[in-house]
Amino acid sequence: MADCSTTKINANITLCEPNGGIRFGTDALLLADFARNGIKRGKCIDLGTGSGVIPLLMLASGSNADFIGLELQPEYAETARKNSEQNGFSDRFEVVCGNAENYKALFESGRVDSVITNPPYMRNDCGKSNASLPLAVARREISGGIELFCKAAGWALKSGGSFFAVYRPDRLVTLICAMRNNNIEPKRLRAVTASVGSAPSLILIEGKKDGKEGLIFEKDLILYKDESHSEESEELKEIYKRF
């Protein structure tokens, strides 16, 4: 078992996370909330599950779906399995250690109701590299990026199945192209901003396998009432309450 730290996420979830790796953040929480009405039942794959926080958040908040978490890094897959067991969801949340490149061997074609992902955001050829390899793999497209994740999603999803992702605004075109290249039509998009008037920091998106053209832009999700980020917005407070 990897060397881990334990965090109490809320009254229902205790999360172990490998030290030196990526930690649970607001992006995972916002994605879980964005997808909660679309993942209430059926089977859902979480691509790049990490420590398993997104399935755990959704299960603890009342989702009736069954989750499969795919994780490349063995120490994270092991941690996600432990988190599933310790939080009482081992019968509803299965963890698979594997590479999304092997999606045809890992998943049956057209059998999954939904796919959710908080993928690596950064290209491997830009910015300062991470000293920690596990952290670098989680943040950078070292072992595959959004195109690969959309290929896996497009393969596994039923026609009409839902795809949910959180991504960087500056790479929105890359995300939408990857979705359409794999027969996932963007249907709903929401920008996340720190405060009123600030540029988006994240993008939340929903797509439908074999969906028709038509994209709804929802109002921005504003996280703070003020530019100093000292007071959370009412909507962010409500999201915390739901989880």
Give the pLDDT of residue 130: 47
Mean pLDDT of 209-225: 98
pLDDT band with cut points at 50, 70 and 90 for residue 215: very high
| Rounded CA Rg of the chain | 17
- The first and second tokens of residue 223, run together, are 């996280």
Instruction: Kindly list the domain boundaries of the chain, sorted by start residue.
Output: 4-242
**What is d(CA 64, CA 80) in angstroms, rounded to the nearest whole number?**
19
Mean pLDDT of 107-119: 97
- The first and second tokens of residue 137, run together, are 């793999």
Give the pLDDT of residue 26: 93
- Higher per-residue confidence, 243 vs 127: 243
Give the pLDDT of residue 128: 57
Give the pLDDT of residue 21: 78
DSSP 102: G
Give the pLDDT of residue 95: 98
Q: H helices of the chain, where?
A: 26-35, 53-60, 74-86, 103-106, 133-139, 146-156, 172-181, 234-242
Percent of the chain exceeding pLDDT 90 equals 81
Give the pLDDT of residue 121: 75
Give the pLDDT of residue 140: 46
- 3 state DSSP class of 54: helix
**What is d(CA 154, CA 104) in angstroms, rounded to the nearest whole number?**
11
Q: Quick one: CATH architecture of 4-242?
A: 3-Layer(aba) Sandwich (3.40)
Give the list of residues 6+ apart from residue 22 with CB closer than 8 angstroms, or none: 50, 134, 135, 138, 139
pLDDT tens, position by position, 59-83: 999 999 999 999 999 999 999 999 9
Instruction: Output the average pLDDT for the chain.
Output: 91
The string over 130-143, giving b where at least 16 C-beta atoms fall within 10 Å of a residue's C-beta and e elsewhere, is: beeebbbbbbbbbb
pLDDT band with cut points at 50, 70 and 90 for residue 138: very low
- Higher per-residue confidence, 190 vs 2: 190
Mean pLDDT of 197-226: 97
